[in-house]
Amino acid sequence: MSTFQIDFSAARRKRIVGIDLGTTNSLVAFMDVTGPEVIPGADASRLVPSVVSLNDGNGFVVGEAARRLLIDRPERTVYSVKRLMGRGVEDVREELKLFPFRIAEGSEQVIRLELGGRRFTPPEISAQVLRELKKRAEEYLGEEVTQAVITVPAYFNDAQRQATKDAGRIAGLEVLRLVNEPTAASLAYGLDKRNDGVVAVYDLGGGTFDISILRLREGIFEVLATNGDTHLGGDDIDNRLLAIALEDIATEWGQDVSGRGEAVQTVRRAVIEAKEKLSFVPTAVIDVEFEGKRYQREIARDLFESLIRDIVDRTLGPCRQAMRDAGLEPEQIDEVVMVGGSTRIPLVRSAVEVLFRAKPHTELNPDEVVALGAAVQAAILSGDVEDKLLLDVTPLSLGIETMGGVVSKLIHRNSTIPASATEVFTTSVDGQQNVLIHVLQGERELVKDCRSLARFDLKGIDPMPAGMARVEVRFMIDANGILNVTARELRSGKEQSVEVKPSYGLTDAQVEAMIVEAYDKAEEDFRARQVREAQVEADSILAAVEKARASGAWLRLDDGERASIDLALNELQMVYHGDDHHLIRSRIEKLDHATRKLAESMMNTAVREALKGTRI
Residues that bind another protein in the complex, under the rule CB under 8 A: 13, 176-177, 217-218, 220, 222, 377, 380-383, 389-391, 415-420, 476-479
Report CA-CA distances (Å) from 569 to 186, 318, 566, 573, 580: 59, 70, 5, 6, 17
Report CA-CA distances (Å) from 174 to 9, 117, 262, 525, 588: 18, 30, 37, 20, 37
Which of 230/397 has CB closer to another protein? 397
CA dist., res. 84 & res. 81, Å (int): 5
Residue 488, φ and ψ in degrees, nearest 5: -140, 130
Which among 310, 308, 304, 370 is positioned nearest to 337, based on CA atoms?
A: 370
CA dist., res. 383 & res. 147, Å (int): 14
Which of 269/388 has CB closer to another protein? 388
Contact 503, 401 (CB under 8 A): no
- Among the options 124, 158, 166, 181, which is catalytic? 181
What DSSP character marks residue 282? S
Which of 110/326 has CB closer to another protein? 326
- Residue 20 designated active-site: yes
- Residue 501 designated active-site: no
Which among 29, 311, 6 is positioned nearest to 151, based on CA atoms?
A: 29
- Residue 298 designated active-site: no
| Residue 400 CB, nearest approach to another protein (Å) | 15
Which of 14/294 has CB closer to another protein? 14
Question: For the purposes of burial, counting CB atoms within 10 Å of the CB of 165, is it exposed (0-12), middle (13-18) or buried (19 or more)?
Answer: buried
Straight-line distance from the first to the last Cα atom of the chain, in angstroms, rounded to the nearest whole number: 29
Residue 407, φ and ψ in degrees, nearest 5: -95, 125
- Residue 457 designated active-site: no
Which of 74/442 has CB closer to another protein? 442
| Residue 419 CB, nearest approach to another protein (Å) | 5
Give the up-direction half-sphere exposure of residue 43: CA atoms within 13 A in the CB hemisphere.
6
Contact 374, 175 (CB under 8 A): no
Which of 365/426 has CB closer to another protein? 426
| Residue 16 CB, nearest approach to another protein (Å) | 8
Contact 201, 223 (CB under 8 A): no
Q: What is the 3-state secondary structure (H, E, C) of 17-62?
A: EEEEECCCEEEEEEEECCEEEECCCCCCCCCEECEEEECCCCCEEE
Residues in the chain: 616
Cis peptide leading into residue 418 (ω within 30°): yes
- Among the options 132, 203, 229, 236, which is catalytic? 203
Sheet hosting strand 60-62, strand order edge to edge: 60-62, 51-54, 77-79
Which of 161/581 has CB closer to another protein? 161
Buried b / exposed e over 167-188, threshold 16 CB at 10 Å, is: bbbbbbbebbbbbbbbbbbbbb
| Residue 61 CB, nearest approach to another protein (Å) | 34
Any idea which residues carry the catalytic annotation? 20, 82, 181, 203
